[in-house]
Amino acid sequence: MASDRTTAVVSSRFAVIEGVLRLTTASLPGIEHVHPVRDRERVIDEVEERHPQIAVLDLDPSGPDSIVLIRKLSGLVDDVVVVLLTDRVDGAIALEAMRSGVRGLLLKPEALRDLAPTLRRVIAGERVIDPALEGSAVAMLGRFARQAREGSQIEATISPREMDILRLMGDGLTMRQIARRLDISARTVETHATKLYRKLEVRTRVQAVAKAASIGLIELT
């Protein structure tokens, strides 16, 4: 479905910033309707329903849910020009934003001062990423590569059974629950766990889960 070139969606949890975003997008050529979305949970739905030409979204206060939001936005970037704003130089968020294909990633408060010309450049097809945010994304890329490498190296040494146990540890099961789930003795679980800790270079179960999660071996929900 083609985007409605007269519509824009803006979102910020801060009334003042929402005001700035509304005024600025309203001044863009062709934009007649600006829809503010105060509730972060509603942003994706609103963008999908309204099919705006452009969506300008303030990520702050940014946290892990920002990454989730950015990933969902990546499905929309082909039809909607998405511009994100944040005041935190966070490598993980910046890298995720660059992977997602958003057209703009701007740093507050500087970006708010000349937001109109920036948005016009973005609409014209230019990708505008704040240099500090790009730098943090590159730094994150280095960490990302290292985690991937260490993860795959460690994973190569872990047996499928140990992987099962690790996953169940990550789910929060006790040793006894793990034994029951896998239909093996608690003693066997302990033996596997000891080997696991050595391979992960940790001493406790909590450290094992943390290390495994940090290198992407398991996901903590």
Partner 1 sequence: MSRSATAGVAPVRRRLGVVLVDPLPVVRAGLALLIDGSDDLEVLSEPSDADTALASLGRVRRTRVVVLVGLALSGTRDAPWLIRTIRERFPAHAVLALGADADATTISHALFVGADGFVDKNVAPPAFLDAIRQAGDHKTVLVGPPMETVGDIATEIERRREMGLRLTEREREVLTVAAEGLTARQIAGRLGVRERTITTHLGRIYGKLGVGTRLAAIRVAARSGLVTVGTPE
Q: For binding to partner 1 (CB under 8 A), which residues are involved?
A: 95, 98-101, 127, 129, 134, 137-139, 141-146, 148-149, 151-152, 155-157, 216
In the chain, the N- to C-terminal Cα span, in Å, equals 34
CB of 20 to partner 1, least distance (A): 26
For partner 1, the closer of residues 18 and 96 by Cβ is 96
Q: Identify whether 131 is preceded by a cis peptide bond (ω within 30 of 0).
A: no
For partner 1, the closer of residues 47 and 70 by Cβ is 70
CB of 88 to partner 1, least distance (A): 18
d(CA 54, CA 56): 7
For partner 1, the closer of residues 45 and 126 by Cβ is 126
Q: Are 100 and 77 in contact (CB under 8 A)?
A: yes
CB of 133 to partner 1, least distance (A): 10
d(CA 50, CA 52): 6
For partner 1, the closer of residues 68 and 148 by Cβ is 148
Residues 6+ apart with CB under 8 A from 168: 177, 178, 181, 182
CB of 32 to partner 1, least distance (A): 32
For partner 1, the closer of residues 38 and 99 by Cβ is 99
CB of 154 to partner 1, least distance (A): 11
CB of 96 to partner 1, least distance (A): 9
For partner 1, the closer of residues 50 and 211 by Cβ is 211
- Reduced 3-state DSSP string for 139-156: HHHHHHHHHHHHHHHHHH
- To which residue do tokens 């270079």 refer? 201
Number of neighbours of residue 195 by Cβ within 10 angstroms:
16
Opening angle at CA 216, ends 212 and 221, nearest 5: 85
Q: Are 36 and 18 in contact (CB under 8 A)?
A: yes
